[in-house]
Structure formats: C-alpha cells, structure tokens
C-alpha cells in the first residue's frame, strides 16, 4: 500500500471518532433522576487527557499508513481501535468517579452519545483491520476480542464503578443474575424443543412431498405474526385450559408467565430450523447417496457417515438463527410476566431510568452476539473439510 | 417487465383482501360479538381508548413512514457501495448490517428512549434504523448477483451508467430486494406492536392494557388485529415478489 | 473504416497492448488472433472505449473515437461477447429493441426491425419473439446476440469470441451464415478468436498478436504462404499448407475433361486411347457413372464389364469445394483425380492431385 493512500473506511472511522470526542456529550451528569442532565463533552469531562484521544485517532491516519508491512499495519490499526474503545470506557469511568461525591449519593453519570459514537467509530476501524488480517487466525481473534477483554477487566477492576450503568448493575446484582439465567433458560429450552420439532418437520417435508407445502405454510404463518401478538394469542387459550384442567395449574401453567412464552418462543424457532433442515437434505446430490449404496453402505452407515455430516452445518446455521431470534424475542416475554432481562428494560422505561434500559438492552445484545459467535464457531468446527460454507 | 400471465386476476384478489381487512377492522360490532362469545366473564371486551381503525391507523403510520424511509436509505446505500466510488465501504456495510440484525428489535426500540425520548418520533426513528438493515443486506446481495456479462453487454451497447443501473441491474436484483423489503416490513409491524411501551400507540396498546388489567379480551383484540395486519402485508408483498418472476 | 494509430494500453508498468497500428477497411472482416494474454480482447475493447487507450488514437471514419461520449459512440457500434449477455429479464424482442429504444425509434419501426433481424439470423419471429433467454439453446442465444448487435444497423461490429461456447457442429454453421450476412450487409467487423481454423475460415484479413504487439497483418492466404517469423509459423500450425488449401476452391484448378457415354458406339476408341489410359464414363445426360481403363476394352460389351462404378455423390467434388476437402477425398478413396460434378452429378471437369501439389508448392499466392 502506498504512503499517500489512506483507506477510506479508516478515514471515515477517524472522522467519526474525532467528531465524537469533540462535539457531542461524552457523558451526562444528573444531580438526581428527575433533573435535566448536564452534557459534558470529552474535554469538559476529563480535561487534558482528551489530547490522548486526539493523538490516537490522528495516528491512525498519519502514523500507521507509514508502516510498510501489511500485517503489522493492520495489527497496529486493530490495536489502536481496541485501545480507543477501552480508553473511552475507562475515561468515562474516571470522569464519573471525579464527578461523584459522597454529598450527593443520588447523582448519576451516564454514558452519552459521544461515547457511543466513539465506540462505533472504533468498531468500524476494528472491523476493517480484522478483515484485512483475514488469513492470520491468531491475530484476527485477538483483534476481535481484545476490546471486550479490556472492557471486562475494567469492569471487574472497579475502574468504572461510578458510571450509572454499572451502578444499576451493582444495585440489582442478584436479580440481574437471576433474570439473566432465566432469560437463557427460556430461550435455550425453546430453541432445543424447537430444534427437535423443526428437524422432524424438515425431514418429513423432505421425504413426503405432499407435506412440504402445508408444513412451510404453517411455520411461515407463525413467523409472520408479531411476537407480542403471538404471546397475546397464547394467553387466552392457556388461561382457559389452566382454568378447566386443574392439573395444569398445579404444574404452574397459567395464562401468563412462562407457559405461553415458552410455547410462543418454541413456535418462533421453528421456521429457520425447518427450512434449513429441508434445504440441507435437498442439497445432498443424489449421486452421493447412490455411490454410498453402491459401495455397500447400509442405511445406517450412510446416515451417520454421509448424510448427517453433510447436513449438520446447514441445520446448525438454522439453529443459530433461531437462537439469536429467541434471545431477542424473550425480551418481549417480560411483558407477559415470564421474566428475563426484558424486565430491566421495562422497568427502566417505566421509571424513566435510561441506564436501567441500557443495562437490559446491552446485556441482551451481548448474549445474542455471544450465542451467535459460539454457534458459528461450532458450525465451522463441524463443517467437514472440503465442503464450502454452509447455506445461509 | 411482464407480470405473470394471470396478473390481473392476482391484483384483484389482493385488492379484495385489503378491502376485507378494512371492513373487518371497522366493524367493531363484529369484534364485540366475537370477544363476548369467547370471554363471557369479562365486563368490557373492547379496548376503550380507541377503536381498531384508529389503532391500525397509528400502527400503519409508524410502519409506513419508517419503512418508506428505510427503503430509500437502504436502497441508496446499497447502490452506493456497489458502485466503483463506494466499493471501499461494501464490506463494512455488509458487516454492520449483519451485526445490527443480531440486535433484538426490541432492544433497538428501547435504546431509542435514553437517546431520543418517548413518543412517536423516537419510535419511528428506531424502527427506521432497524428496518434499513435487511433491505441494505438484500440490496447488496441482489445487485451482486446480476450476471456480469449482462452488465458488460449493457455498457457495450451504449447504455450510460444510470441506464445500466435502472434498466438492467435493478430489475434483475429486484426479486431479492423485494424479499428483503418484505422481511423488513413484517418485522417492522411486529416491532411497532411493542412501540406502545415507548409511547407510540398502535395495536400494542390493547394488548398491554389487557396484560396490565388482566383482561384477555383486550389482549386478543390487539393480538388478532396485529397478526392479521402482518399476514396481510406479508401476503401482498409476497405477491409482488412472485409477479416479477421471469425465469422458469 | 477503422484506423488504429500507435495504440497502447498500460496497466501499471506492464503493456497489455503495445504500439499497434493497423487499418481495417470498410466492409472487411478482420480477425484478431493470438495466444492467451496477447492483447486481442483489449485491443478490441479500445475501439468502443470499453477500455480507454493509454496512448495513441483510434479513428473511426476519420474521426477520433475519443471525441465522442462513450455511450453515444457505442450505440453506433454493435458489440457481441462470448457469453452473449442477453438480459434475462427481457424477452428476445425486448433484448433486440434495447439500442433502437435508446435511440428513440418509433414503436412501429422497432417492431418491423425486430422481425427483419430474427429472419436474418434464421429464427422464426413468431416462435422466438416472446421467449426468454433462459429458454434458448446456446446457438439460439448467440443468434439473438448477433441480431441485437445489428438492431440499430451500426456500420461496425465488434465481436469477442462470439462462437467460442457453441458446439463445433453448430459453430461452423453459425460462422458460415454470419459471413454471408456480413457480406450482404457490408458491415465492417473486428472479430477476436483464439481458433486459427475459425480465423482462416472467415477472415478477409488476419492480425496476429503476441504479448501486446502486432506481429503480422495480412490476408489468410499470404500469412499461410509466408509466415513473418517462427512464432507465426508455429502458431498457424504445421499443417499450414493444408490450411491454405481450405481458402481456395476446386474451381480455381479444375481442368476440362471428356467422357465416354456408356451407350456410345465405340468407333473412335483408338482416338480415345491416344488421349490417355483412363476415361470418365457418363450416361446420356452426362451424369457420372464411373471410370474405365481404356486399355482393357475393345468392344462396347466389354465397356460395361470393365467399368469401375463410382458413387457420383461421394467420390467427387463440386466447383466450390475447398481444395483441402478435395485433397482429403482423394486420400480417402485412394485416387489421384476427382471428377468435378454439378448438383445433378453431371460431369463438368476434373481436379488432379498433381495440380494441387504444384499449387501448394509456393505456386500462385493470390
């Protein structure tokens, strides 16, 4: 890459970054929950330390392009991007610590637009560096996760405790963990049951052509219904059944709560899994099956050695889609009393406590991303060598 | 571009469905009768604050504005990053939109509040941002699958850049783009249902009200109407999608 | 008329095309040929500015191509590529109508033109108008491609390996028909191929390129008779003498001949014996029946017995059979002379192997 050519994506990221540390509020300080917030941009928040940020951003376009070696240059870009994110987090925490005082325990310092834009800008540059490091697995992985690692360390080390969002976490720690577990359990069970049903449906639809249309009509139908509406539609019949069949009530099945949520979530997870199971079977060339039988394989051997390995990545991709969806939909389940991290979102909305909303929303997003990444890694690990990427 | 052979008949069917839906929505007496039948124990079965026509209207306003904007922006960005001028941004656009789609729509909606406050405008903004993603993704995917030799032939025949885009690339990418629009709109209808918790009204209002009051009739009223609306939208856009099929 | 004046194309420091100058006359079919990477496609694409030259100029009818807006230039030049590039979302009709519509022709004119063109490329308009590209075979698609290129009646056609993806049998037919159309319409054609046989079959002039440079530019006959250097010599193939023969017809070398009618009275047999050892034998309508060795017959009766019959449709040549095919037949049937017959198998002359050999041996190089 030539000296003079700065990549336009990095340029865009740097522009956004510079903007985010100059103009919008980096943090917002509120003496109490009801008072209007005082916006502090980076300078006001941390004073001369802001120069560090300017230096780092500018070095991305001035210093880094000087590095000739491609891998080194991209690694450096990745490091800088991660640093900018982590430092943003750290200094927001420091600003919060500075602003906090024992006289006013109700005061809150929240992360504001400037911080988020800084994070977004760092992410853009990070993704760019990551893509260019494509071949190098080790460097690439480090680049991707270093930022998270750094932020986690900061949180654990107590450096950002005075930030409003961390305070909300600390205040609700037990409940947070309980609801998080509940969230995971709910989505997890839904996707598991959904996988069993979905795979079965997919196989039936594949083997029995007549059932293909009705099967897909059904799962498509369910998928189209808005989640809240589906939850709502579950309530009435379940309330009815729970009233008329006392046994169910003893089990804990009620009109609202876990039961309708679980049923609805399971139904939602059907489409991606059914469709992918169906597709995974369709794409195995019939020649492969013929060859297998021709070589003397039994049905069982064919299934285990050929069909399942070939179909698995595609089916798992469907499971991955369903899982991410389910984690998101479980948020809405809080509205019908099923718990989960959505309760924080709801509570925050009700109490006009934006950091509570943030706590809930970010945790959910984080869990969704984690599940997505973990499942993608599983899929990659289980994809037989020599087979190109699984169907989307 | 030709419509499928039975084109006219299909459109009449579609128009009929829309009319039926409109008729159903405005006929509150029908709903009252149905809900009374299902829930004989409830005193009130119809959501009192507004009738369905108004609720559907609010809902549609949320969806149509945010989706219209999303289509314009999504198409625009998608076209830009597939041109030579914007090629540098293609990967990041793809990446960001894939990432964004991992975010639960509810979370995006909720995040609008700390940033923009409560009410109609913040909700529309959040819905818009979220709706752009599938459209952007599919615009890119659709434009990338246009056969290269068709494009070369088009330039070779003397079409200008805008003519190639308008007469060759977009028509060939249209089916995929429409699929993205369909997903976007249907999800949008779903997310807008929750818009009530951020102060935006819509068909979620009776549902939430019913949940809070423990009145399943309200819940069903809202849920059924929302479900019908979503199914109708999915069906209609799907029809448009299929009418564009020119390959056997 | 197309003139290339010292045209070059550089990518970075490497020349894809280096300093090519040539003139393509009006109505000529010029073939650009060479090994992979020789710059033939690049050169072609510089004519309609799909690729811009790095230096040099291209004149079309004495006006520099650079002075026009690219789109407008291309609407007056037909462009056919190997994969055809028919628009999948348009019918055959709509595909062909693209350029005329860009030029804002009225509907009726466009419709008439489409019918005319489809007939020209031997596709029944009624059957093919409304078809979609996905429904066409390779050969049919390529015909539509040619029709589309000719739609606005451009004086120049640029073709980049147009028949490369067609099966060999259909390809020969397409080549033959295409040349006919080209001559009929008087189009100037620049044609890129890597197939030397194709080039020899259709070209008026061949330009041989190598590593971006023009190595030889001449008629096929001249190139085959006198390759400019070892590269061309190897490129045209070790059988260049035979290849050259394919450019000439039997009519050029045939000799008049006589025959004995099978029912003739053999009064003048002695006369005949003076002429030579063998004679053709025909029936009363001059239709070839076979040949006879004159020394072996004395009477009419013996004529019929001594007659070596020939299948006049198989062991013969026509006036426009290529010398190469005539020679091939001679070798196949083990004869040194072939009868030349018309379409009714009536004897019109003969062609001798020795004449062909003499001709090949650096004889007439027209």
- Digit-coded pLDDT (tens) for A332-381: 888 888 888 999 988 888 887 888 888 888 899 889 988 988 898 888 88
Tell whether A124 is within 8 A of chain B (Cβ). Answer: yes
The predicted-structure confidence for A231-251, as pLDDT tens digits, reads as follows: 888 887 887 777 777 777 777
Q: Token digits for C256?
A: 């008049």
Q: Which residue has the higher pLDDT, C293 or A189?
A: A189
Mutate to test the interface with C, among B147, B153, B159, B174 (most CBs of C within 10 A): B153
Tell whether C59 is within 8 A of chain B (Cβ). Answer: no
Examine the pLDDT at C237 and tell me if it is beyond 70: yes
Q: Are strands C347-352 and C337-341 parallel, antiparallel or unpaired?
A: antiparallel
Tell whether B109 is within 8 A of chain A (Cβ). Answer: no
Residue ranges of chain B with pLDDT lower than 50? 1-4, 247-248
Report the 3 state secondary structure along chain B. CCCCCCHHHHHHHHHHHHHHHHHHHHCHHHHHHHHHHHCCCCCCCCCCCCCHHHHHHHHHHHHHHHHHHHHHHHHHHHHHHCCHHHHHHHHHHHHHHHHHHHCCHHHHHHHHHHHHCCCHHHHHHHHHHHHHHHHHHHHHHHHHCCCHHHHHHHHHCCCCHHHHHHHHHHHHHHHHHHHHHHHHHHHHHHHHHHHHHHCCCCCHHHHHHHHHHCCHHHHHHHHHHHHHHHHHHHHHHHHHHHHCCCCC
Mutate to test the interface with B, among A226, A236, A391 (most CBs of B within 10 A): A226
Q: Which residue of C has its CA nearest to B172?
A: C89
Q: Which residue of C has its CA nearest to B150?
A: C85
Beta carbons of A97 and A138 less than 8 angstroms apart: no
pLDDT bin (cut points 50, 70, 90) of residue A302 is: confident
The predicted-structure confidence for A345-355, as pLDDT tens digits, reads as follows: 888 888 878 88
Beta carbons of C264 and C285 less than 8 angstroms apart: no
Give the mean pLDDT of C358-365: 66
Interchain contact, B154 vs C99, CB within 8 Å: no
Nearest residue, CB atoms, A127 vs list B38, B92, B186: B92
Examine the pLDDT at C273 and tell me if it is beyond 80: no
Nearest residue, CB atoms, A226 vs list B39, B96, B230: B230
Tell whether A227 is within 8 A of chain B (Cβ). Answer: yes
Examine the pLDDT at A29 and tell me if it is beyond 90: no
Interchain contact, A232 vs B220, CB within 8 Å: yes
Interchain contact, C71 vs B248, CB within 8 Å: no
DSSP state of A134: T
Question: pLDDT at position A26, please?
Answer: 86
Residues contacting residue C219 through CB under 8 Å, at least 6 positions apart: C203, C204, C205, C206
Touching subunits of B (3+ CB pairs, under 8 Å) are A, C
Touching subunits of C (3+ CB pairs, under 8 Å) are B
Query: Across the strands, what pairs with C80?
Result: C159
pLDDT bin (cut points 50, 70, 90) of residue A388 is: low
pTM score of the predicted model:
0.81
The predicted-structure confidence for A117-144, as pLDDT tens digits, reads as follows: 999 999 999 888 888 887 777 777 788 8
Query: Across the strands, what pairs with C32?
Result: C192, C207
C-alpha dihedral, C348 to C354 to C355 to C357, nearest 10°:
130
Q: Which residue of B has its CA nearest to A324?
A: B102
Q: What angle do CA A44, A50, A56 make, to 5 degrees?
A: 155
Give the mean pLDDT of A150-154: 86
Closest approach of chain A CAs to the CA of B204, in angstroms? Answer: 8
Examine the pLDDT at C47 and tell me if it is beyond 50: yes
Q: Which residues in chain C have their CB less than 8 angstroms from residue B156's CB? A: 48, 50, 74, 79, 81, 85, 158
Examine the pLDDT at C264 and tell me if it is beyond 50: yes
Interchain contact, B227 vs A229, CB within 8 Å: yes
Question: pLDDT at position C265, please?
Answer: 58
Examine the pLDDT at C48 and tell me if it is beyond 80: yes
Q: What is the number of alpha carbons within 13 Å of residue C268 lying toward its C-beta?
A: 8
Question: pLDDT at position B34, please?
Answer: 83
Mean pLDDT of chain C: 88
The predicted-structure confidence for C175-202, as pLDDT tens digits, reads as follows: 888 999 999 999 999 999 999 989 998 9
Question: pLDDT at position B3, please?
Answer: 45
Q: What angle do CA B91, B95, B97 make, to 5 degrees?
A: 120
């Amino acid at each position: 890459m030539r000296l003079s050519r700065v990549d336009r994506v990095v340029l865009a990221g740097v522009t956004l970054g510079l903007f985010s540390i100059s103009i919008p509020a980096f943090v917002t300080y509120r003496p109490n929950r009801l008072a209007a917030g005082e916006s502090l941009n980076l300078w006001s928040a941390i004073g001369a330390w802001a120069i560090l940020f300017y230096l780092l951003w500018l070095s991305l376009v001035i210093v880094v392009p000087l590095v000739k070696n491609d891998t080194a240059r991209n690694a450096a870009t990745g490091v800088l991007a991660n640093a900018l994110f982590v430092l943003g987090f750290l200094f927001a925490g420091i600003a919060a610590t500075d602003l906090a005082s024992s006289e006013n325990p109700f005061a809150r310092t929240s992360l504001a637009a400037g911080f988020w834009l800084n994070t977004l800008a760092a992410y853009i540059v990070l993704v760019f560096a990551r893509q260019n490091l494509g071949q190098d697995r080790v460097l690439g992985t480090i680049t991707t996760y270093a930022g998270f690692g750094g932020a986690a360390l900061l949180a654990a080390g107590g450096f950002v405790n005075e930030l409003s969002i961390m305070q909300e976490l600390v205040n609700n720690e037990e409940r947070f963990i309980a609801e998080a577990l509940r969230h995971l359990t709910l989505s997890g069970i839904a996707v598991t049951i959904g996988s069993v049903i979905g795979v079965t449906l997919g196989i039936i639809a594949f083997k029995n052509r007549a059932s293909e249309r009705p099967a897909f009509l059904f799962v498509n139908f369910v998928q189209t219904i808005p989640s809240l509406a589906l939850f709502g539609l579950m309530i009435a019949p379940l309330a009815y059944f729970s009233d008329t069949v006392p046994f169910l009530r003893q089990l804990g099945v009620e009109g609202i709560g876990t039961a309708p949520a679980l049923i609805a979530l399971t139904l939602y997870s059907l489409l991606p899994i059914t469709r992918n199971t169906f597709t995974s079977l369709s794409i195995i060339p019939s020649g492969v099956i013929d060859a297998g039988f021709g070589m003397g394989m039994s049905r069982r051997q064919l299934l285990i050695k050929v069909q399942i390995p070939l179909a698995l990545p595609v089916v798992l991709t469907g499971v991955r889609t369903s899982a991410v969806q389910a984690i998101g939909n479980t948020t809405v389940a809080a509205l019908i009393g099923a718990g989960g991290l959505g309760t924080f979102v709801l509570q925050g909305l009700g109490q006009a406590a934006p950091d509570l909303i943030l706590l809930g929303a970010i945790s959910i997003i984080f869990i969704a991303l984690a599940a997505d990444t973990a499942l993608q890694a599983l899929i990659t690990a289980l994809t037989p060598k020599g087979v190109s990427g699984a169907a989307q | 571009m030709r419509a499928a052979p039975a084109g006219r008949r299909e459109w009449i069917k579609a128009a009929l469905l829309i009319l039926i839906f409109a008729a159903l929505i405005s006929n509150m007496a029908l709903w009252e009768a149905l809900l009374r039948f299902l829930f004989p124990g409830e005193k009130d079965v119809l959501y009192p604050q507004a009738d369905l026509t108004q609720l559907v209207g609010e809902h549609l306003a949320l969806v149509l504005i945010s989706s219209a904007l999303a289509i314009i922006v999504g198409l625009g960005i998608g076209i830009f990053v597939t041109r030579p001028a914007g090629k540098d941004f293609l990967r990041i656009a793809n990446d960001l939109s894939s990432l964004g789609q991992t975010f639960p729509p509810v979370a995006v909606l909720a995040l609008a509040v700390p940033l923009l406050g409560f009410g109609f405008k913040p909700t529309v903004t959040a819905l818009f941002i979220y709706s752009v993603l599938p459209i952007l993704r599919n615009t890119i995917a659709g434009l990338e699958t246009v056969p290269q030799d068709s494009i070369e032939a088009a330039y070779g025949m003397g079409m200008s850049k805008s003519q190639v885009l308008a007469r060759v690339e977009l028509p060939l990418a249209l089916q995929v783009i429409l699929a993205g629009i369909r997903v976007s709109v249907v999800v949008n209808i779903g997310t807008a249902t929750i818009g009530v918790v951020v102060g935006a009204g819509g068909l979620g209002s009776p549902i939430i009200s019913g949940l809070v009051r423990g009145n399943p009739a309200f819940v069903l009223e809202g849920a059924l109407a929302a479900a019908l609306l979503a199914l109708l939208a999915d069906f209609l856009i799907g029809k448009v999608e299929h009418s564009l099929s020119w390959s056997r | 008329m197309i003139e290339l004046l010292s045209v070059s194309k550089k990518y970075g420091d490497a020349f894809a095309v280096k300093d090519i100058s040539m003139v393509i006359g009006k109505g000529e079919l010029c073939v650009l040929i060479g090994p992979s990477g020789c710059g033939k496609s690049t050169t072609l694409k510089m004519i309609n500015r799909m690729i811009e030259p790095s230096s040099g100029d291209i004149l079309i009818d004495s006006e520099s191509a650079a002075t026009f807006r690219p789109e407008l230039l291309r609407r007056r030049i037909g462009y056919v590529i190997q994969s055809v590039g028919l628009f999948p979302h348009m019918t055959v009709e709509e595909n062909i109508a693209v350029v005329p519509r860009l030029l804002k022709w009225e509907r009726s004119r466009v419709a008439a033109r489409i019918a005319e063109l489809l007939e020209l490329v031997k596709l029944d308009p009624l059957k093919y108008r409304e078809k979609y590209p996905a429904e066409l075979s390779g050969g049919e698609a390529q015909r539509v491609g040619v029709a589309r290129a000719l739609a606005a009646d451009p004086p120049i056609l640029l073709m980049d390996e147009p028949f490369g993806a067609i099966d060999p049998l259909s390809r020969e037919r397409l080549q033959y028909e295409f040349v006919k159309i080209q001559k009929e319409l008087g189009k100037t054609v620049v044609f890129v191929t890597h197939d030397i046989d194709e080039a020899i079959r259709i070209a008026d002039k061949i330009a041989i390129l190598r590593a971006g440079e023009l190595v030889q530019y001449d008629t096929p006959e001249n190139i085959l008779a006198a390759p400019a250097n070892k590269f061309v010599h190897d490129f045209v193939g070790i059988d260049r003498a035979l290849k050259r023969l394919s450019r000439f017809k039997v009519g050029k070398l045939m000799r008049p001949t006589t025959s004995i009618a099978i029912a003739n009275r053999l009064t003048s047999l002695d006369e005949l014996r003076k002429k030579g050892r063998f004679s053709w034998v025909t029936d009363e309508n001059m239709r070839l029946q076979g040949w006879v060795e004159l020394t072996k017959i004395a009477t009419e009766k013996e004529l019929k017995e001594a007659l070596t019959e020939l299948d006049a449709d198989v062991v013969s040549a026509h006036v426009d059979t290529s010398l190469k095919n005539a020679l091939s037949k001679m070798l196949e049937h083990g004869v040194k002379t072939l009868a030349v017959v018309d379409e009714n198998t009536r004897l019109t002359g003969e062609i001798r192997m020795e004449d062909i050999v003499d001709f090949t041996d650096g004889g007439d190089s027209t």
